[in-house]
Structure 1
Amino acid sequence: MRALDAVAVRQWADACVRSLDANREDIDRINVFPVPDGDTGTNLLQTMRSALDDLLRTPADENVGTALAALARGALAGARGNSGVILSQVLRGLAEAAQGASTAGGSSLRRALLRADVLATAAVSAPVPGTVLTVLHAAAEAARDCGSDDLGEVVTAAAGAGAVALADTPRQLAVLARAGVVDAGGRGLVVLLDALADVVTGRVPEPTVPNPAVLNPTGPNPAGPNPTGPNPVGAVPATVPRDALTTAREAGSAEYEYEVMYLLDGDPDAELLKVSLGALGDCVSVVGDGAGLWTVHVHCNDVGAAIEAGIAVGRPHRITVSRFADQIAAAAPRFVRDRAIVVLVDGPGAAELFRSEGAAVLEPGDGVTAADLLAVIVGTRARQVTVLPGDPAWREPLDEAVAQAVAAGQDVVVVPTFSPVQALAALAVHSPTRRAGDDVVAMAEAAAATRRGEVAVSGREAITWVGRCEPGDLLGMLDGEVVLIAPGGEDVGDLACRLVDRMLASGGELVTVLLGRGAPDGLELVLEDHLRVTHPEVELAAYQGGQADALVVVGVE
């Protein structure tokens, strides 16, 4: 093949997925750096599958640059782990070098690998010799120094140099030498380079990964003795104990238990985000596809703070949190308390009221995202979290945030509350000394036993159960349905008293009132005087809520 075209790119991407699938278990098994989490092969495969999926969904185009750009975009969106992030930058480098070109020959591949080397290195906060970056750098230099512009010769030189550099990684990283393995990410890159050579030359290349145990016959064997015979590439020698994969590491810290990844849109301050994440953990990368999509990666303990750092510069989405299964016992604890209550409520007064009762509070304001909710939930650092939402409109992002938190090992339960007064009733019966399950049941029963009502101003013309309302009319609502309508010029206090009477018709001992931002002065006194006459046995508790969407929110227990 004299030049890569769009068809060849698709063939190469498909070959990469098949080859990574065949080598996945071997690559996972030798994964000991920067974290011995045994998932580099899996991450590379999933990232490459995402890249291929995006390419296959892209309309057919003869432009090789377009095909490579689709690969890079899909890899970034679906990147998994450090290795996936680096792979996305390798593909981005190839795409940028071939931008606008219909085909890519040997000289184009040379430029592409050099650009990929620059981008991948920039993606890693603290590059270390003996990793996939070392392998990529060797491949790029070999392509640069190749004396021919023939595509086959350039790609063969790059693949061969990458394989040699891979075999040398145990001499550069002691953790690899102790385990008797080569770098897992580097092994994956060599698989991809070999697949490219296979597509370009049209033949299956000879195995090009030398055995690291026999590279230096005149000196010490970095992999240790292996009396049973040659060491298969990437295999753990029989003489190396299995717990060698969890020995101390010279880069990356074993104290960090979680891997956090998410996407950002737009133009975030990448350097500021790197600094913020660097203060929380290691293995930090903030990289983009050059077209407004960014992926963020960090190993840390404080998952909430890592997500909040993203919120400070953009809108995190597609958030994934993974826990390293082989975390050592000495690691900093994730949970510092057994239980916490999280409340979603609008209005500064209401928020302060819940905070005074010990709850963690999120004020959604004009909108709430799953990222916002997840940051608050994991930020409690509690093993078991009970969430009290004050509005059913927040259900969809809340479900997404809860799913993410539960997947990361936190026990999260949502108690159905459709109003802040129901959340108050639930919080009032919360007892940290009660069994967690029993406590959730008690809160759910208290919320369900609280009737909810509110007085609000109609924003539009509508047909209700009790007739037509016009913009500006006062609406009295009970359990989400309009039950009273008054013209806009009517007294808010009178309508509120009528609503309370209706709510107390079926009984009640306590009326709780949250006064909204637009509530008239003295409304609580009007209600107090009214109840003193009509329901002297009922207690009134009134608070400044400050909510914008209702003049007054009422709860009856």
Structure 2
Amino acid sequence: MIEKINGKLFRDMFISGANNLQNNKELIDKLNVFPVPDGDTGTNMSLTIAAAIKELNKVESDNLSEIGKALSKGSLMGARGNSGVILSQIIRGISKSVEGKNELGIDEFAKALKSGSDTAYKAVIKPIEGTILTVVRESGEFAVKNVKKNKSFIEFFEKVLIEANKSLEKTPELLKNLKDAGVVDSGGKGLVCLYEGMLSALKGKIVDLQESDKIDSVQSIANDYVETQGELDIKFGYCTEFILESENADPEKIRDIMLKYGDSLVVVGYDGVIKVHVHSNEPGNVLQEALKFGQLLTIKIENMRYQHENLIIPDDDQESNSKLASQDKVIVNEESKPFGFITTTMGKGLAGIFEEFGVDIVIEGGQTMNPSTEDFINAINMVNADNIFILPNNGNVIMAANQAKEISEKNIYVVPTKNIPQGIGCLVSFDPDSDADSNMENFDEVLSNIKSGEITFAVRDTIMDGIEVNEGDVIGITGKSLISSGKDIAEVTKEVVRNMADEDSDIITLYYGEDVEEDDARLLAETIQEEYEDVDVELYYGGQPLYYYLISVE
């Protein structure tokens, strides 16, 4: 009979729990309640826990404190999406509770579960019941209250799991969207899967990770910015960055030239200044090519193979979040500028629009592909500015951006943009002559004035806002409200525009996606212009997946 949990068993429980969560990620993805392609809760939680286990595998000892710190650090940096960030906070709370202990009794383990719940709630500004937060809270409270009613650890955790499942089954009663769709909360289901795997290990059987998930986990937590996290076989050894001042070259031209010299290429430019980041084996030739077009304002070259052999992420004191930011790159001969921008988007057209506005780093991601906290940290480290604004452009990305803000020692401002039109609107209104706080106040006003809409497709049959939707239908959404459903993209789009536009509207902007033909988009824009003669209708290629059109009305 197990009476205590030592470091080895604690490790096995988390590995088993992580494997079980990852094995069930597709099921968890399908539980998302809205009829839009937001089925990524399982993926986000899976990638978050995979990052935690990757960090755990670096710890050779079975010391509980070291195991807890590794799990906390790995999940924190790998957190993706709201569900992943909340999961990372649950793990962080558990890890804090076991610090300094050699083994855990039932009482101590119960307090650890409760600590996970408390930490997660503190991390969420407006906790919503009927989600993973409810499941972790109710099961944690149950654990603390029922410590003395069990003969063995297994019996205790079995009861905790039963309570977690009861809490999960009640989530539709707390969230109308869940009830309408006939599903339980996806994040709560992910937590239950984690607990199920932990209990299995407690009973002596570690859940194995299915082969396909082994491949997905390793590939997905690889990071394009910092190769020191990857394998030793680095194809291009020198991280080369420079700022070029040029009157006769644009970013696209420089990008085409740099493609032959390496990979991980990032080229952004605005008003005659172009910033280039490339991994290459020929940094000298890269700089010589750049000099043909103008003068180099700054240069930075780093040997990534050497960095790989001298990893600089500390393993001590997880409580000091700033230590997690010790991957900061040393910027050579580059003066800090007043403001920098990082944004998230999907689609080449949208990325190009953000680059034209002078955004320093465009992180590819958004709906169904949420950037991790580490993605934001790495981007922050590449921007040398006194104040850095992050535009997440997706409600499910804001928490990871805020978590990166807490970790970083730089002055970070997270603008709570929930869609692309909001992000672009903030950039348009940015005033370089004002300070960061004044711009943030201005951004708040911009966000309140921009009306945003999305045209996409339903991934399941459901009823939302009183509208019956069939799988595959074209649907139009503004905010969180379903406005229209049908079979014709143009008709649904026009109905959404009619819902958004009024007598005070001046501009209607359409960004068409990768699945829309340019001729069809132009015809739709002309039709809308005919209907709204006193309003300017603008059309841009966004190239975004999943969404036929993104719409803004100002």
TM bucket normalised to smaller: 0.3 to 0.5
Identify the structure with bigger relative contact order (alpha carbons < 8 Å, sequence gap 6+). 2
> Which structure has the larger Rg over C-alpha atoms?
1
TM-score between both structures, scaled by the size of structure 2: 0.44
